[in-house]
Amino acid sequence: MTKCAVIGATGYAGAELSRLLLGHPEVAELVLSSASAGGESISSIYPNLAGAFGSSGRSGILADKSEAIERADVVFAGLPAGHAEEIAAACAAKGSLFIDLSGDFRFGTDEATYTEWYGKPYARPELHTTSVYGLPELNRAKIRALGEAKSGALLGPRIIANPGCYPTASTLGLYPALKGKLAETEGIIIDAKSGVTGSGKEPTKSTHYPECADTIAPYKIEGHRHLPEIDAVLSLMAGTKVASVFTPHLAPMCRGIVATAYFRLAKKGMKAEELREAYAAFYKEEPFVRVLAAGAVATNRNVRFSNYCDISAHIAHDGKTAVIVSAIDNMVKGSAGEAIQNMNIALGLDEKAGLSMLPPAF
């Protein structure tokens, strides 16, 4: 049994993490923390959680950050970029596992890219040398090694950088093609549509109901922070430098990302069934990736509130271009659920523990 803490528990990612960890069978204690609402009960802010607390180890009262770190073996942070290094350092000092949901640790030793997109250098570059990018389908062994390190001669911090929501959907959709050399790596285009929870908790003009209902709004076409992350992961997957085109769109739905990715087929005349089978074989053992049968198209509807990533592989009418649709719930597989999956792997638990919820049909 594990003691977990969530720092930033009142943000959307933190709140979803809190909800899911409350149902995790291996979590004995859960400490929630919030800088803005210390001392309050989380259910005063999230009344959906009323009645979920009170049992031993789960008070629901928002603690401060240092108490949260002090009491937990696994610390999650769902804060805006720029706050994770300090928490990572505290966790490292204490020997606990740190799973960060921000962008702070996603670029590893590539500080230049982080600085370009996040506007500041690393304060503690040494923390970034051993952190692991927590896309389980790509890095399961490394994530597991973090956990095993614990009981051995660990030198250095144990940090998992939980992937961004767009990068999770986008890169899982392209991984089989890149790894299997089915795709030309030039000219990859990712047209992604996200629900509004992806914008977080803060009300803004673009998330104001009358402005965002009934509307598809592309944004940050010239460059979104998730682009360099996507390109870094795609490059790893392909074994060569990939520079994709990535266009995010805000769609009038609460949850979900649907990424429609386009690439030219490396092999002339490849048939859709062959492509689909390659995808199905590639993900055969993955507990949370479902490759759809011919005729079906992935959509966020079928994965909402679950940790699944649904993928459907198609070939366009031109016969040359693959169209891959990948769909996730941005708050689960794209955030809180993936973080729990990472914890499960690192701790050697059943990878599906706490993540067995089936997506509702409606």
Which active-site residues does the annotation give? 165
Contact segment (CB under 8 A) with its own copies among 18-26, 59-67, 82-90, 96-104 equals 18-26
**Helix axis angle, 165-179 to 226-238, nearest 10°:** 20
Identity of residue 26: E
CB 169 within 8 A of CB 257: yes
Q: In the β-sheet with 217-218, what is the strand arrangement from edge to edge? A: 217-218, 245-250, 189-194, 257-264, 321-328, 309-315, 289-291
Stretch touching its own copies by CB under 8 A, among 63-71, 89-97, 220-228, 339-347: 220-228
End-to-end CA distance of the chain: 34
- Coil, strand or helix: which one is 321? strand
Binding status of residue 55 toward its own copies by CB under 8 A = no
Shortest CB 20 distance to its own copies, Å: 9
Asked if 15 and 37 count as a contact pair (C-beta separation under 8 A), the reply is: no
The residues in 166-195 that bind its own copies, with binding defined as CB under 8 A, are: 187, 189, 191, 193, 195
Query: Is the CB of 152 or the CB of 318 nearer to its own copies?
Result: 318
CB proximity list for 151: less than 8 A, separation 6 or greater? none
> Minimum distance between the CB of residue 344 and its own copies, rounded to whole angstroms?
18
> Widest CA span of the chain, in angstroms?
63
Based on the shown chain and the rule CB under 8 A, indicate whether residue 156 belongs to the binding site for its own copies: no
Q: Please, which residue, 105 or 263, has the CB nearer to its own copies?
A: 263
The pair of three-digit structure tokens given for residue 323, joined into one six-digit string = 């169209």
Among the residue ranges 58-66, 89-97, 136-144, 314-322, the one whose residues contact its own copies (CB under 8 A): 314-322
Q: Quick check: 24 binds its own copies (CB under 8 A)?
A: no
- The string over 194-228, giving b where at least 16 C-beta atoms fall within 10 Å of a residue's C-beta and e elsewhere, is bbbbbbeeeeeeebeeeebeeeeeeeeeeebbbbb
Which of 16/137 has CB closer to its own copies?
16
For its own copies, the closer CB: 98 or 246: 246
Does 115 contact its own copies by CB under 8 A? no
Q: Does 155 bind its own copies (CB under 8 A)?
A: no
Shortest spacing between CB 275 and its own copies, in angstroms:
12
Q: Is 47 in the site for its own copies (CB under 8 A)?
A: yes
Binding mask 130-149 for its own copies (x = CB under 8 A): --------------------
Residue pointed to by tokens 């729990």: 340
Residue 171 · residue 226 · CB < 8 Å = no
Candidate residues 5, 127, 182, 258; the one interacting with its own copies per rule CB under 8 A: 258
145-153, 156-164, 204-212, 277-285 -> range binding its own copies (CB under 8 A): 204-212
Within 13 A of 50's CA, how many CA atoms are on the CB side?
4
Residues in 77-106 that interact with its own copies by CB under 8 A: none
315 touches its own copies by CB under 8 A: yes
Residue 81: CB partners within 8 Å, gap ≥ 6?
102, 103, 104, 118
Distance in angstroms (rounded) separating the CA atoms of residues 206 and 328: 22
Rule CB under 8 A: which of 259-278 touch its own copies? Answer: 260, 262, 264, 272
**Does position 285 bind its own copies by CB under 8 A?**
no
